Amino acid sequence: MVNGSTYLRRELLIRLVRAFDAGDLRREIDRIPVKLRPKDADASRCCVYHDRAVIKYRLMALLGVSAEEETDEAKTLSEYLDEILNGGSRAEESGEAFERRVAPLSVCGPACSGCPDARVVSTSNCRGCFARPCVYSCPKNAIAVTGGRSAIDSSKCIKCGKCISACPYNAIVKTTVPCEEACPVNAIRKNERGVAEIDFAKCIFCGKCFMACPFGAVMERSQIVGVLSAMKRGEKLVAMIAPAADRQFPGTMEQLMAACVAAGFADVVEVALGAEKTTAHETAEFLERMEGEEKKFMTTSCCPAYVNLIGKHLKELVEHVSLTPSPMVYAHEMVREADPAAKTVFIGPCIAKRSEARRKGIDFVLSFEELGAILAGRKIDVMACAPHPVPRPAAATARNFARSCGVTEAVLAEATKKIPGFQLAAKQIDGIDRKTPAMLKLYAAGKLPANFLEVMACKGGCVNGPCSLA
């Protein structure tokens, strides 16, 4: 979905690729903020200078540097670029500072509007009516009418919203803090200065705040410059296209694969081939786990935001998580088996995949947006590409991993092959929200009415991931 903030992000990405390819990025990058907002242009924020400051942080994120890492505010984008291109001082370490530095999300302070705390307020639409349904509907006696208008006592209000639906004049509204409301684990909060801040010890990188913020203040830390430079150095990069790519671009999966090769990848594989292996192993694991009389269940492991949720917040579920590697990991192993020198680039719609990729040794992760920017910068139209010759397309059940219920259906189909008439008691959580952790706790305590639990952090599955295009 294109809106003002996705538009800017994509425009910047395309400009970055074009400048990189023109061999001009070092000179150009500090000029982009000014070019996009010249002094007499209309500003999106208070003035063009504020716009430029925000664009600078966005470009930093595209270079892979988070706003949180900034130590010298005067440091220019070209200085950051030099550091990155020269390998810089990015030695492997560990600990809290390191976790923050490798976190795939970042908040751009100057972009954050510091939304006022969520509350229910009566507006000037109130007519001070006689029936006063708001007063009568309030379970906490928090509403009084004074001076011909209703007023809500925020110390008593529990934000239940009953008055909102009771008012025939639509006079009562609820204000929200979109990032806080979207976060399933309370990991994003305003700090003492009123600016949103992510607690990386809690964050599961689901990307819900990234999608929710109307100011585009939550940014994704990109690896695109790393990919472009490796390509330029002539390294063998193999693109691994996630099954969610289906219908993200105009054209077919095979045409998209051809577009990747045209864009400079040495080779390209479908991650769905890895999903075939995940299906086989996960089914075998499931059947093995279910042996015996004891009441047990297994839950899926291919959604990295869900795996992060369990790892950071729901230790009681750890033993139920499938140990089968994700399709991305299998695809990576297949590529490395064929050529141990190949560098792998996972291309998908997911932010959390970046944290999984780092743990599992995948070299780079690009989003569909970033791949799109490379294709746009290099003037490659997917529709105009002749289909890439593939030995065989991946199985339909494997390509379907990107949709909610896809894993369940694949495991059921595989199990039925082994055990005719096999019955699977499956339950799906299609998209996680603030209520999900509590529900999962109940499931862990034995309240799951099933033995197979599929959880996808994004509603509808990966196809609706935070970095999806369509």
Binding site for another protein (CB under 8 A): 2, 7, 10-11, 14-15, 36, 249-250, 369, 372-373, 375-376, 379-384, 469-470
Question: CB of residue 25 vs another protein: minimum separation in angstroms?
Answer: 15
Question: CB of residue 44 vs another protein: minimum separation in angstroms?
Answer: 12
Report how far residue 196's alpha carbon sits from residue 218's, in angstroms, rounded to the nearest whole number. 9
Identity of the residue, 118 or 470, whose beta carbon is nearer to another protein in the bound complex: 470
The total of other beta-carbon atoms located within 10 Å of residue 100's CB is 17
Give the DSSP letter of residue 309.
H
Give the DSSP letter of residue 69.
G
Whether 82 and 25 have beta carbons less than 8 Å apart is answered as no
CA dihedral defined by 168, 171, 172, 177, rounded to 10 degrees?
130
Identity of the residue, 115 or 263, whose beta carbon is nearer to another protein in the bound complex: 263
Question: CB of residue 104 vs another protein: minimum separation in angstroms?
Answer: 20
Report how far residue 468's alpha carbon sits from residue 355's, in angstroms, rounded to the nearest whole number. 18
Identity of the residue, 14 or 413, whose beta carbon is nearer to another protein in the bound complex: 14
Cα-only R_g, the chain: 25
Question: CB of residue 303 vs another protein: minimum separation in angstroms?
Answer: 25
Identity of the residue, 39 or 447, whose beta carbon is nearer to another protein in the bound complex: 39
Identity of the residue, 359 or 379, whose beta carbon is nearer to another protein in the bound complex: 379
Tokens of 251: 């054209």
For helices 271-289 and 327-338, the axis angle rounded to 10 degrees is: 120
Closest CA to 154 of 118, 208, 203, 204: 118
The total of other beta-carbon atoms located within 10 Å of residue 2's CB is 8
Question: CB of residue 463 vs another protein: minimum separation in angstroms?
Answer: 14
Report how far residue 414's alpha carbon sits from residue 406's, in angstroms, rounded to the nearest whole number. 12
Identity of the residue, 23 or 161, whose beta carbon is nearer to another protein in the bound complex: 23
Report how far residue 177's alpha carbon sits from residue 186's, in angstroms, rounded to the nearest whole number. 12
Report how far residue 368's alpha carbon sits from residue 374's, in angstroms, rounded to the nearest whole number. 10
Question: CB of residue 84 vs another protein: minimum separation in angstroms?
Answer: 24
Q: How many CA atoms lie within 13 A of 95 on its CB side?
A: 4
Q: With H, G, I as helix, E, B as strand and everything else as coil, classify residue 464.
A: helix
Question: CB of residue 219 vs another protein: minimum separation in angstroms?
Answer: 17
Tokens of 208: 């819900």
Identity of the residue, 255 or 322, whose beta carbon is nearer to another protein in the bound complex: 255
Question: CB of residue 63 vs another protein: minimum separation in angstroms?
Answer: 19
Identity of the residue, 36 or 164, whose beta carbon is nearer to another protein in the bound complex: 36
Identity of the residue, 172 or 380, whose beta carbon is nearer to another protein in the bound complex: 380
Question: CB of residue 379 vs another protein: minimum separation in angstroms?
Answer: 6
Give the chain's count of helices (H) and strands (E): 20, 15
Report how far residue 110's alpha carbon sits from residue 217's, in angstroms, rounded to the nearest whole number. 8
